[in-house]
Amino acid sequence: MKIRSLLLGSVVAAGLSTGGAYAADLGVLTSLDVCDALGLSGLTISSDTNCLQITGEVKYKFVWGDYKDVAGDLPTYIPTPADGGLDVGIGGNGLNDWQSRFDAWIKFVATADSDFGPAKAVLKLKQVTDARVVDEGPRSYAGSTTGDDLAGGQVVLDEAYVSIGDSTVIMAGKKGSIMNKADDEPLTWLNLFNAEDVDNGVSWGPLAGTDGLGDGGMVIQVKSDLGNGFTVSGGLENLDDDNALGGAGTAVGVLAYAGEGISAHITGAAAGILDGDVEAWGLHAGFAGTFDNFKVVLAGAYGHDEVGPVTDYWNVLASASATFDMFTLAGAVEAIDDGTGTDYGASVSASATVTEGVTINVGARWFHEDVVGSDSYQVAAGVSAAVTETITLTGEVGYVNDDYPPVWESFYGSAKLAWAPGGGYTASVKGTVGTSTNPALPEVGYKVETEFKKTFE
């Protein structure tokens, strides 16, 4: 409930108790309604001039089983060039593994009116603690909010920036990137191997020693609505970086379109602007369209890196789907070249809604690694059933084969129960069991994953 509503309710009660004379003067409290005047809703607190919106999320994930060895995911991974390999199979070695991950964030947005449009100040606090134990050994940390993986997470100021404007918005401070890397998701039930490894899409490749062209961090950005579905954005990002790895300071430009059934964009970035020596640059473009029963996705990315050995990297994909009554058929292809060879892959899937709330999926995907000449593939079948309005049960069985050394294959099965009772709360439990022929994981592997989450706004 809004604090403003509580205040108004108290004043109304007081006015009625005095015979209504005071109630006639409630117009003096309109300054407390600044949130409504600005068109803002959710969990808010009003002052005379500012509306403070509060949003957040708390999530906890716990995983336990026997599914790794001391080498991590390497015994059951597909060697995609995007991010070093995609973990797919499962096996065990007789020693238990577990993971305890806690994610939480809270965001405050203070908004006031100005002659140039809404003026905002944004503060976001975040903490991630991701503790992992492999083969019942020492604890390690990965992805925690500390700047290194050797310690638990601490609360950090994830965002702290100001913005002003309506159709044209100026932003400055610590925040995420304005880079648009959407419109590139394959439409198949089983994702493409490399596309899944780059967070479901295409990539322009990594700048040496980092996770890509440095973005976000300390920024100065401008975004403008051109009308008719077009927007243009530009900015300077990664302004707090040094030049140890090259590429300090990144210039970003984006042109995007969103219309009825169609979205598209092109994003360009150049790293190294602070010292006037551009060490890397990249382009990312995508198109997603829906035409009656058909959907199409076309995407491509190109990157050039001069840090260390000169590298040129490109990645393209195309995907299409068609829906006929209860059936949906989909296919996708991808190709990647990181300067050492051209890898490529494909995926196909079929989905059928057999009854209301029950869907059956079957799919297959394949990937060819060029340098070694290896092939990897996966076939799977799954079912999703809405047991009640709040409970969904899904299951999957599959087979993975990888002839990239060390050669291995894996049979697996999984079941997941998801609960969404409302109020922004969700919870799930998933169990997976499987076998691997990799000598590092010679026994039956198993994994139990639980996740609990609550969001508020």
Q: Extract the tokens encoding 383.
A: 């079912």
Kindly compute the dihedral angle of the four CA atoms of residues 265, 281, 315, 340, in this order, to the nearest 10 degrees. 180
Average pLDDT score over residue span 30-34: 60
Least Cα distance to 149 among 134, 135, 128 occurs for 128
From CA 334, how far away is CA 300, in angstroms rounded? 9
pLDDT for position 242: 79
pLDDT for position 329: 98
Architecture of domain 50-456: Beta Barrel (2.40)
Taking a C-beta distance cutoff of 8 angstroms, is the pair 329, 322 a contact? yes
What is the per-residue DSSP string for 396-424?
A: EEEEEEE-SSSPEEEEEEEEEEEEEEETT
**Digit-coded pLDDT (tens) for 129-144:** 999 999 999 988 887 8
Question: Does the pLDDT of residue 31 top 90, yes or no?
Answer: no
pLDDT for position 23: 41
pTM of the model as a whole: 0.87
Q: Extract the tokens encoding 132.
A: 């992992």
Strand 374-386, strand 86-87: pairing: unpaired
Which is more confidently placed, 224 or 305? 224
Average pLDDT score over residue span 344-355: 96
pLDDT for position 2: 44
Contacts of 349 (CB under 8 A, 6+ apart): 188, 189, 190, 329, 330, 331, 361, 362, 363, 364
From CA 53, how far away is CA 133, in angstroms rounded? 39
Taking a C-beta distance cutoff of 8 angstroms, is the pair 129, 151 a contact? no
Question: So where are the chain's domains?
Answer: 1-49, 50-456
User: If DSSP codes are grouped into helix, strand and coil, which group holds residue 270?
Assistant: strand
Dihedral sign computed on CA atoms, order 420, 421, 424, 425: negative
Strand 119-133, strand 156-165: pairing: antiparallel
For residue 263, which amino acid is it?
S
* Placement of tokens 């909010």 in the chain: 145
Contacts of 39 (CB under 8 A, 6+ apart): none
pLDDT for position 78: 85
φ, ψ at 12 (rounded to 5°):
-60, -45
Which is more confidently placed, 449 or 81? 449
pLDDT band for position 305 (cuts 50, 70, 90): confident
pLDDT band for position 171 (cuts 50, 70, 90): very high
From CA 457, how far away is CA 2, in angstroms rounded? 11
**Digit-coded pLDDT (tens) for 68-122:** 887 766 677 788 887 667 888 888 999 999 999 999 999 999 999 999 999 999 9
* Placement of tokens 């967070």 in the chain: 199
